[in-house]
Amino acid sequence: MDDTPVVLGINRDRHASVCLMHGARVQWAIQKERLTRRRHHPGGPGDVDDLYLPRLSGLERPLDVLVECHAGGEAAGDGAAPEGDRALAFAHGARRARISQHLAHVYSAFHPSPFREAAVMVLGGQGSAAPGEPRQVASCYRVDRERIACIGQQLADGDRHAAGLGMFYFRLTQALFPGEGNEGKVADLAPYGDPHALGLPPLEVESMQVDVPRAWQSLLGEAARFRFGAPQASFTDCANLAAAGQRAFEDALLALAHWLHLRTGLEDLCLAGGAALNSAANARLLRDGPFRRIFVPPAPGAAGAALGCAIYGLLELAGRSADFRWTHDYLGPAPQLADIEAALDGATDLIVEHPRGRDALCARMLDLLCSGRVVGLYQGRSEFGPRGLGHRGILADPRRERMRDWINARVKEREWFRPFAPMVAEERAFQYFDLQAPSPFMQFAVPVRSSVMPLLAAVTHVDGSARLQTVGPSDDPVLRALLAGFEVRTGVPVLLNTSLCGKNEALVETPQEAVAVFRRTPLHGLAMPPYLVMKRHEPGLPA
């Protein structure tokens, strides 16, 4: 008999997500927003019954372990029952636990990392807690394969809403770009500003406690002055505030890292929590900080906690080893060929080609890319984290500067200052970028070498940096073939890559969604192996 344990991890808080493991193998992990199309969709009672069970395979068989996370407190033990799902309520034989979201982050970042032991820093974005508990906004740990030791944590009650590094960046974001999930816009805007222009002080850091000075709190309350796009707000003021906030965030992050390094004496660091998505800060931490190596998982924010729950269940409740490692982020359920064909069936407005094999498909994609066209790529299992890493992506020629403005305005319909990521063959990356280690998950923004900046105009940010994705020899074969073919044709082993989605949308999950985005945006082609799709009435080229 197969005694491999079936483990389900559920994150029911912000950025809800779910992960199913069969032993150490991830059957799938997916964010709720990919199924509902509502970005940053929080969890709720009945999600398993109403959403996950009808859409995801594997939940119909009995569970051996079920672990949920919440946003505050410590592990609740085996007796804590899940909330509101009838299907799970009948999993009588399953061992169950509820753990804190920060503890789930530790399991999702360290245990799938390449390290034997490491310091772990978890920096939450908004901070949250179970009812009646103070919010846990930051926590630090010393972790090895046998034990986890909490070094310290920062809690913020309702009267100290400005405390904590992640909370500071959240408030900074709300001043500039109100709404959910706009922290990346602040980091993108910062290089256009002067961090000293507003005369703001650094954040107050003592051990691992971070507090926000009154001068910052007062300025962040001036909503009309700094609300990007508002009539009263100048671009200069907005950019200067973003620059000052980014600099203050980075300086405080370095101070925390030095404190943690002094406490642990370790050379390696795992970084998790929503604040770990700040690729510019991550790069500075690696360059100027005390740790020799830094690992940031592709899903460091709240959504990644579902995987952490599952790994916790595998290790602590099932007593099995957890051999899963973050070698890629393609953890979503794989689409079926029949679903791809159904999405294309009867599409009289589209031209559907069927090239003979992967090489022929890549050759046709390269024909389009080298002629200045923009191509969507939908293939295989979807990315679990928030960034399209080549399975749900939009590709273009990085040498054409007008590509950046055209894709921003026409395809993504977003702010003009937003940069795009380069995708590069790992073995050639060091010739084009000043990086210290491979970056497969777009988690570090590094300098573009000055000698090649003219060749990479569409992916070089105003400060000369790029948040790159390296593609190694054993990584996705389609991406490797495209990069190699593009280098043969152009001399440049780099492509522009951005997420396949429309304005304010989550990454596409199904073939039908991919075709819908293709139809309503001016993309010139859509590769859905084994097919290449084009429009009978082709949009104009970027100009």
pLDDT at residue 89, rounded to an integer: 57
pLDDT at residue 77, rounded to an integer: 44
CA 386, CA 184: separation in Å to the nearest integer? Answer: 11
pLDDT higher than 80, residue 88: no
CA 501, CA 490: separation in Å to the nearest integer? Answer: 28
Q: Are residues 407 and 522 in the same domain?
A: yes
Residues in the chain: 543
Q: Are residues 350 and 444 in the same domain?
A: yes
Residue 332 lies in a domain: no
Whether the CB-CB separation of 101 and 166 falls below 8 Å is answered with no
Residue 165 lies in a domain: yes
Q: Which residues pair with 237 in a beta bridge?
A: none
Residue 324 lies in a domain: no
CA 277, CA 245: separation in Å to the nearest integer? Answer: 15
Q: What is the mean pLDDT of residues 413-434?
A: 97
Q: Are residues 288 and 313 in the same domain?
A: no
Q: Which residues pair with 138 in a beta bridge?
A: 123, 154
pLDDT digits (tens, 9 = 90+) for 71-85: 654 444 444 445 556
Q: Are residues 159 and 210 in the same domain?
A: yes
Q: Are residues 267 and 168 in the same domain?
A: yes
DSSP 67-105: EEEESSSS--BTTPPPSS-HHHHT-TT-EEEEEEHHHHH
Q: Are residues 344 and 253 in the same domain?
A: no
CATH number at 74 reads 3.30.420
Q: What is the mean pLDDT of residues 481-505?
A: 96
Q: Which residues pair with 376 in a beta bridge?
A: 394, 526
Whether the CB-CB separation of 449 and 535 falls below 8 Å is answered with no
Q: In terms of residue numbers, what domain contains 192?
A: 117-296
Q: Which residues pair with 144 in a beta bridge?
A: 117
pLDDT digits (tens, 9 = 90+) for 383-401: 999 999 999 999 999 999 9
Contacts of 45 (CB under 8 A, 6+ apart): 83, 84, 85
Q: Are residues 292 and 224 in the same domain?
A: yes
Q: Are residues 255 and 367 in the same domain?
A: no
Q: Are residues 102 and 208 in the same domain?
A: no
Q: Are residues 441 and 514 in the same domain?
A: yes
Contacts of 364 (CB under 8 A, 6+ apart): 353, 355, 532
pTM for the whole thing?
0.94
pLDDT higher than 70, residue 133: no
